[in-house]
Structure 1
């Protein structure tokens, strides 16, 4: 924690987390919109395998970062 404080204040970390969260949300929305347009058939939305793969990659990266202590407040 002390080493981290030498590089960024708590406020800077909080702002970075907010920007990352906003970016991830925007990317997920973009991916979902593209997937829905791609797979729209007879008024039914289907999740495409491309959407599923991309979402899983994003979530795995997030889990990996949390497991390594990034963003966990440690």
Structure 2
């Protein structure tokens, strides 16, 4: 060694030599973290309710609609 100094004689660096406050950095990271997406259920429930309503409406219309053929089959049968 040129000066007679060993590398172990040098002052050691601190592991946390940052000028930033770690608590404030943790707070900033928490504020910048994106919020988890919450899936909404009301659109699914509304769509299912609308489909059920349409099915009941079409079933009611099929039952209450008059028949397409108005003449009786017995009257048109050959004699």
Taking structure 2 as the reference length, the TM-score comes to: 0.36
Larger-gyration structure (1/2): 2
Taking structure 1 as the reference length, the TM-score comes to: 0.38
Higher relative contact order (CA 8 A, sep 6+): 1
